[in-house]
Structure 1
Amino acid sequence: MRTGSDYLESIRDGREVWIEGERVRDVTKHPALAPIIQARADVYDMVRGDEDRLRENPSAPVALAKTDQDGEARNTLLVRPRQKEDWYAKWEAHDEISRRVGGLFSRLGDDNLGEMWSVTDERERLEGLDNAFVDNVERHLRAIETSDVYHVSANTDPKGDRSKNPKDQDPDMLLHVVKETDRGIVVRGAKFETASLYANQAFVKPTITNWGDATLSPYAVGFVVQMNAPGLKHICRTTFTDAGKAADYPLSSRLDEVEALMIFDDVEIPWEDVFFYENTRAALIVRSSIHRYASFSMLLRLLKSAELLLGISHLNVEQTGLHRQQAVMEKLSILASYHESIRSHLIAAIESGSVSGSGLWVPHQSMLFSGRYSAVRDLPGMMHIARELTGGQIALTPDSKSFEQPEIAPYLEKYFGLSEEWPGEDRRRLLALARDFLNSGYAGHKLSFQLFSQAPPFAHLAAIFNSFDFEPSKSFTRQCARIGEEARGSA
């Protein structure tokens, strides 16, 4: 398994990355990108440390490494979930990473790996189709498990004018196959993706689900691309990172997971990396099952956000002595209920799950999707409740340098310090965290990001509709209405 140094070296591979109009020669050293890349390297070192302890003592109580069925120690997040206990192990590993890092990740690789687990479930349906190379999926899965490469996803196209058929506008608005060679296929277009510039590879697949006729088949393509592939460009959004302001922005200064527009300028994909191409049926099968496992990881991220909302709010009102007021307790209860709703959906999805065709434990789908829908729907309201409980201080607190300035520090200690337990500096740190998580540009971005990573609520509702079993409700209704029974005389 990799160390952090192994990972850093692996992404110094000549990839073409652009940010703020500048070509980046070494992403690991760019001031805006280095903090999140180092945080990702730190996670590799954490996993490697737990793996070493597990090798020395197979019964060692470690969270981040797990012995797989082949007897090898693996990253717990990457082990295939063959039983319900595996999901709880992933949950524990995710919480342990968040605790050690002191913050939240959206992309750790497990969420995107789940998309490939779902493809293995559909092996039987895909094997009978033309231009579907299911063996390549299994080979890539084994490579990820055994070498711990950082694997992400490339899902969302620019799309252009959505009222038009792709063939009736610039065809590059959706990624598509332009030709076939002896070595593989050549693709052109673009995708948006988080962490592409510091990942090793991505599973690229189509986003559209209404395929219409066969003229759209060039867009029905799925493959794995290496991030340094010739012709692939990563154009980054502006970051929120400022390492010099870590004291005032403790999350965004270290953990801004940068999105990029990946430009595929006639990129050749080797045959061994192609999963399917020019096959709308294969694309439909993959799209319909793509969130089967990945939604669990994404809902887990929202649970950790809910935990931080609750912690920020409760610590603040506890500091100021307001935590026993009825109005405050009600708001804290709403945040607690939000947290528990997410947690209960995750538990219920695990416990009500079933075994897939490929032998994996599938979380109960409608339970999982319902949790995701309510969590994303209610997140803006929960953030605003946390703002109310934190009060205007998050908009008014001076920066850390002011607290260090000898001439004014005594005044700030007087007016921000609350007790020996809560001196002014600790109060400032809590308010800085609250401001970064609730009020900063980073906070607004992470809220909007849910509509990109989790999909908008209407898509969640469609997933619920397609996965929910309506038959028990209909059957009970028939019984209550005595539908189908012979006419009965009046009593």
Structure 2
Amino acid sequence: MIRTGDEYRNGLRDGREVWIDGERVSDITGHPAFRPIIDVKARMYDMQHEAAYQDRLTYVEDNKRNTIFYKPPKETRDWTDKVTAVDLVMKDIGGVVTRVGDETIGEVWSLIDGRDVLAEFDPRFADNVDRHVQNIFDNDIFHVSANTDPKGDRSKPPQDQDPDMMVHVVKETDAGIVIRGAKYETAAAYADQAFLKPTVGAWANEKLSDYAVGCIVKMGAPGVKHICRSGFAGRSDPKDYPLANRFDEVEALVVFDNVLIPWEDVFFYRHTKAAQYIRATLHRYSAFPYVQRLLYVADMMIGAAMWNAKQTGLDKLQSVREKLADLVCYREGINAHLTASITLAEKSPGGLLMPNQSLLYAGRVHACSQLPAMMHIARELCGGQICVTPNAAAFEAPGSGEWLKKFYSLNEEWEAEDRRKLLAFARDLLNSDYAGHRLTFVQFAQAPHFNHLAAVYGAFDFEGPLDFVRKAAGLSDKVLGAKKQ
């Protein structure tokens, strides 16, 4: 049941409407802005078929070989297997990708936990959850998430402005519902389908709303239009920007122009309680692989900074070691939260094993909020040459090349070309347009910082600290009533 890279590429040639830089793309698999990241996803599919990786990326059940990434977690080993699988992929491709499916499938697992809530309103919708979880699993579908609407004027409800500023249902038919609106989404143009749901409640005390809709949308369906931002890949020589040219995950404003969603693809519709429940539980699984990506970003910063210190002979200085230790503490803080969240995992309402919610959400705050400071420490360690070094062409050209080789050669071990490569890598990781884009992506990809903190507040058990202080301070039993309020 596992796909190949070519099967994935062929699935993208479905006539989907994709626009970038004012032009409609006829075949995104060959377009310079999309081809590199599509090749990365295709590589992930192909790895599952190779003897060196197959036993650690897939498993056999009922005589079917399935992907580890989409296996619903029911025991600790399911999570450790996923950790191993992600590690294999990242090291094989030599970089970090986030939106490739395993970090969004968790949002569908959250629907399993909300199945009974959905069934209260319509049993058909609960059955749709079961079917889609199995369909994604069986067919190895590249599944992404559609979250953020344009929103328009946020001081006004959507009904008081252009109603399309937030996705809503405009019509019911025997075949399904018809939706209008738009969502911003990473990887939508080269994914198979997306789980669309409201970003925030577009309602006050309403029990029913046309904006409370959650469904599966096929990315090549009639009426779906992908209007993509300019890509970083292909703008410059890969020798100068090695990360941007391989791992740019292109976002799009995905427009839904009267798109028909068959009833079998609807998870909830109109019931605000169902929409609010799903939003509240959306990241209980998907936050794990999302935060796990930042572990590899930390490794890249440590590696780039440490190699630079070794190249220049500064690795023996205590002040340099202290800054490297700051990066290590950041990295190990992420690792500790991820490891502990699995070790102390909890059974979910749907019978799955979800990472310990308090530890996972606290780890997400640590990983995301500290990233800007850690990037600056890495910049300090790499030095000002990451912003002043000429490009690869200057190193290769007669006339300029000889001088650059002279001044960028450090010793017998570190010649100019290796020095240039390291500085180019560090620049693309820390200083380039691509680096700035990725930093903003991290801060908002799952939710903004205030939402991360709200998740921590909601997941933490305050009972222990309250009782500890009540007893330590000798508070009367009367405060027990206040504690429950």
Q: TM-score range by the shorter chain?
A: over 0.9
Residue 393 (structure 2) pairs with residue 410 (structure 1)? no
Partner Cα separation in structure 1 for residue 79 and residue 162 of structure 2: 43
Q: Could you list the per-position Cα deviations for residues 331-385 of structure 1 after superposition, in whole angstroms to 9, with x for gaps in the alignment?
A: 1110000001110000111111112232211101111111101211111110011
Correspondence for 2:171 = 179
Residue 341 (structure 2) pairs with residue 349 (structure 1)? yes
Correspondence for 2:256 = 264
Residue 416 (structure 2) pairs with residue 461 (structure 1)? no
Residue 83 (structure 2) pairs with residue 82 (structure 1)? no
Correspondence for 2:27 = 26
Change (3 A) 1:455 1:471: same
The runs of 4+ residues in structure 1 deviating greater than 4 Å are none
Q: Secondary structure at the match of 1:329?
A: helix
Q: Which amino acid aligns with 2:87?
A: D
Q: Secondary structure at the match of 1:78?
A: coil
Partner Cα separation in structure 2 for residue 387 and residue 244 of structure 1: 22
Q: Could you list the per-position Cα deviations for residues 75-123 of structure 1 after superposition, in whole angstroms to 9, with x for gaps in the alignment?
A: 2211111111211211111111111111110112011100000110121
Change (3 A) 1:207 1:369: same
User: What's the TM-score, normalizing by structure 2?
Assistant: 0.95
Correspondence for 1:59 = none
CA apart distance, 1:405:
2.2
Partner Cα separation in structure 2 for residue 132 and residue 461 of structure 1: 35
CA apart distance, 1:397:
1.4
Correspondence for 2:412 = 420
Q: Secondary structure at the match of 2:118?
A: helix
Structure 1, 476-485 or 93-102: larger mean CA deviation = 476-485
Contact 1:349 1:367 in 2 (8 A): yes
RMSD of equivalent CA atoms:
1.7
Change (3 A) 1:141 1:331: same
Residue 185 (structure 2) pairs with residue 193 (structure 1)? yes
Contact 1:27 1:33 in 2 (8 A): yes
Correspondence for 1:46 = 47
Contact 2:179 2:260 in 1 (8 A): yes
Structure 1, 436-445 or 215-224: larger mean CA deviation = 215-224
Residue 230 (structure 2) pairs with residue 229 (structure 1)? no
Q: Secondary structure at the match of 2:56?
A: coil
Change (3 A) 1:291 1:460: same
Q: Secondary structure at the match of 1:240?
A: coil
Contact 2:73 2:353 in 1 (8 A): yes
Q: Which amino acid aligns with 1:269?
A: I
Contact 1:237 1:258 in 2 (8 A): yes
Quick one: which of 207, 210, 213 aligns to 2:205?
213
Partner Cα separation in structure 2 for residue 247 and residue 216 of structure 1: 55
Correspondence for 2:293 = 301
Contact 1:310 1:335 in 2 (8 A): yes
Q: Secondary structure at the match of 1:109?
A: coil
Residue 59 (structure 2) pairs with residue 66 (structure 1)? yes
CA apart distance, 1:211:
3.2
CA apart distance, 1:216:
6.1
User: What's the TM-score, normalizing by structure 1?
Assistant: 0.94
Residue 25 (structure 2) pairs with residue 7 (structure 1)? no
Correspondence for 2:101 = 109
Change (3 A) 1:284 1:424: same
Partner Cα separation in structure 2 for residue 174 and residue 132 of structure 1: 25
The count of corresponding residues between Structure 1 and Structure 2 is: 477
Partner Cα separation in structure 1 for residue 410 and residue 20 of structure 2: 43
Quick one: which of 314, 327, 351 aligns to 2:306?
314
Correspondence for 2:483 = none
Match runs of 1:233-382 below 5 Å: 233-242=225-234, 245-382=237-374
Structure 1, 337-346 or 349-358: larger mean CA deviation = 349-358
Partner Cα separation in structure 1 for residue 477 and residue 112 of structure 2: 45
Partner Cα separation in structure 1 for residue 196 and residue 53 of structure 2: 35
Contact 2:157 2:202 in 1 (8 A): no
CA apart distance, 1:22:
0.4
Quick one: which of 124, 139, 145 aligns to 1:147?
139
Partner Cα separation in structure 1 for residue 59 and residue 235 of structure 2: 34
Contact 1:167 1:216 in 2 (8 A): no
Q: Which amino acid aligns with 2:183?
A: K
Q: Which amino acid aligns with 1:184?
A: G
Runs of 5+ unmatched residues, structure 2: 479-485
Change (3 A) 1:256 1:370: same
CA apart distance, 1:425:
0.8
CA apart distance, 1:483:
2.3
Runs of 5+ unmatched residues, structure 1: 55-61, 487-491
Q: Could you list the per-position Cα deviations for residues 375-414 of structure 1 after superposition, in whole angstroms to 9, with x for gaps in the alignment?
A: 1111111001111100011011121122222443332222
Contact 1:35 1:243 in 2 (8 A): no
Q: Which amino acid aligns with 1:431?
A: L
Change (3 A) 1:393 1:428: same
